[in-house]
């Protein structure tokens, strides 16, 4: 927690931390840049480097067998989750945008992730069908989709996550918008920010998880299924 009495220059401190992480993980930083720049035609959102390292370290510790990623995007997070795994039974990652999906198939092949299954599918459809077919539960779920939908995903995720499984959610700060009064939000954030704030509260209060929130990237939460 930040102490308001501390005389830190937080901009410089965060820059220093970025430099430390980049230096300590130079090979991963290079891969991070390579994936972002791969077949670059237009900007595709990617997790920040410190967020990617957080995903990497959690996967290294947990060594999950069944993984679900909701929101493939650039493929950075997929790579960082996949990289430290010593064995794997299933890894599903979802991407609704068709152009990102087509690029993503090439990313998986080029960066040696061919045992990852990328689906051009709506997340709600996939989650409902997966739940209904009673497939093995996931022990590592990364949620990085539309923020207004986080709250709607949660009841289904509750049913498909294994005991002791990790649920990691990105963008829980939403570019700092969660700390702004609702009457000061611009039109594009009026609906999504209140829903994300409600999600953060509901997740934290849920009796199903032990949850903590971290000042990593744009805010990340880690929930461990009881």
Q: What is the pLDDT of residues 180-226, one digit of tens each?
A: 887 777 777 788 888 999 999 999 999 999 999 999 999 999 999 99
Helix axes 49-62, 10-24, angle to 10 degrees: 50
pLDDT at 216: 95
How many Å apart are CA 83 and CA 81, to the nearest integer?
A: 6
| Structural domains for the chain | 10-225 (3.40.50.150)
Cα separation of 182 and 179, whole Å?
9
Largest CA distance in the chain: 55
The angle that helices 26-37 and 49-62 make with each other, rounded to 10 degrees, is 120
Averaged pLDDT, groups of 10, the chain, 226 residues long: 66 86 92 95 91 98 98 97 97 96 97 97 93 92 94 96 98 87 78 91 97 95 98
pTM: 0.93
């Amino acid at each position: 927690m930040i102490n308001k009495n501390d005389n830190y220059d937080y901009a410089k401190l965060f820059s220093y931390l970025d430099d430390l992480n980049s230096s300590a993980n130079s090979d991963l930083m290079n891969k991070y840049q390579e994936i972002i720049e791969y077949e670059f035609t237009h900007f595709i959102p990617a997790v920040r480097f410190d967020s990617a390292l957080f995903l990497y370290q959690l996967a290294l510790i947990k060594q999950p067998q069944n993984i679900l990623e909701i929101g493939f995007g650039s493929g950075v997070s997929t790579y960082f989750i996949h990289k430290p795994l010593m064995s794997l039974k299933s890894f599903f990652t979802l991407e609704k945008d068709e152009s990102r999906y087509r690029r993503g198939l090439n990313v998986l092949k080029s960066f040696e992730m061919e045992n990852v299954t990328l689906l051009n599918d709506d997340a709600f459809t996939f989650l409902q069908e997966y739940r209904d077919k009673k497939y093995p539960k996931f022990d590592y779920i990364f949620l990085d989709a539309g923020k207004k939908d986080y709250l709607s995903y949660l009841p289904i995720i509750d049913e498909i996550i294994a005991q002791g499984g990790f649920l990691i959610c990105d963008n829980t700060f939403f570019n700092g918008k969660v700390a702004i009064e609702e009457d000061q939000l611009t039109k594009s954030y009026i609906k999504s920010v209140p829903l994300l704030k409600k999600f953060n509260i509901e997740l934290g209060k849920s009796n199903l998880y032990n949850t903590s929130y971290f000042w990593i990237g744009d805010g990340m939460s880690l929930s461990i299924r009881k």
